[in-house]
Amino acid sequence: MDQLAPKGIKANRLAGELTIQWADGHLSVYPFSLVRAACPCAECRGGHDNMRDTPDPEVFTRPREDSPATRMTSLEAVGAYALTITWEDGHHYGIYTWSFLRALCPCPICRGEAAQGDSAWPKTL
């Protein structure tokens, strides 16, 4: 059983928020604009060489915006390991794995861990 597998995923279009309830009890609430800013596809990352399995720290400091690019049209599971999201502007190339989404959690606890370089934090080199 994957510890990272979410127990529940909800997209609230009115609030513009994606909510993930994780198997370990953690709750992540992502503004859509954050999820879109962190889109892990090659096009958004600027090429395959820049693709990694953790979000760019810069996405957390970007201002929230409301545009077709940050409005979620649909959400689909990819097997048991990831989500794909279709945005109103037609973009749907990002594959958000559970570990990526967990690393993208904007809550103070997760951001604090990232800042301290907690060993549980997914590392890329």
Residues within the interface to Zn ion (CB under 5 A) = 39, 41, 44, 93-94, 105, 107, 110
Q: Which is nearer to Zn ion, 29 or 81 (CB)?
A: 29
CB of 80 to Zn ion, least distance (A): 21
Widest CA span of the chain, in angstroms? 38
- Smallest gap from Cβ 2 to Zn ion, in A, equals 17
C-beta of 81 vs 86, nearer to Zn ion: 86
Q: How far apart are CA 114 and CA 93, in angstroms?
A: 26
Give me the half-sphere count of Cα atoms (radius 13 Å) on the Cβ side of residue 10. 9
Six-digit token pair at 76?
């689909």
